[in-house]
Amino acid sequence: MKWVLVTIIVLATSAGEVLQALGMRHHGEIHDFRPGALGRVLSALAQSWHIMGSIGAMAVSFFAFMSLISIADLSFAVPATAGSYILETILAKYLLKEHIGWKRWSGTLLVACGVVLLAIE
C-alpha cells in the first residue's frame, strides 16, 4: 500500500507541477503585488484549465501524501516521493522546452541523491 501511494504521489505531483508551470507561463510574469492586482490574477487563473487541472492533480497528491504519512514515517514519505524530481526535470525539458544545461542536471541529481541519503537512519 505504501508504494502504491508513493506511485500516485510521484505521478500526480509531476503532472500538477508541469501543468502549473504551463498555466503560469501562459499567464505571464506577475509584477504587481497589490491586493487588487492579485485579485485580478487569481480570477484569471481560475479560468485557466492548466491551473485548475494542476490544482486537481495536486489535491490528489496532497490527500495521498496525508494518507501516506498516516501509515508511514515522514522520513520514509519525503524521500520516497523524490522520484518526482527526475520525472519533472525530464518533462520540463521535453514539454516545457526549458534549457537544462550541465549545471541544472548535475545540481538536480545531487539534490535527488541528497534527499535519498537524508532518509537513511
Partner 1 sequence: MTSPLKKLQLKTRIFTAIVVLTNVLGNSFLSRGMQGVGELLSLSPLPYIRALFNPWVAVGVSLLIVWLLSHMALLSWADLSYVLPVTSIAYVLVALVGRFLLHEHVSLTRWLGVTLIMAGVTLVGHTVPRTTGAHKPGTSV
43 binds partner 1 (CB under 8 A): no
Separation in Å, CA 71 to CA 3, 75, 86: 11, 12, 25
Q: Which DSSP category does 34 fall into?
A: S
36 binds partner 1 (CB under 8 A): no
Sign of CA dihedral 10, 12, 15, 18: negative
46 binds partner 1 (CB under 8 A): no
Q: Please state the closest distance from residue 36 (CB atom) to partner 1, in A.
A: 16
User: Nearest-CA neighbor of 51 among 15, 76, 6, 94?
Assistant: 15
Among 1, 34, 35, 47, binds partner 1 (CB under 8 A): 1
96 binds partner 1 (CB under 8 A): yes
6 binds partner 1 (CB under 8 A): no
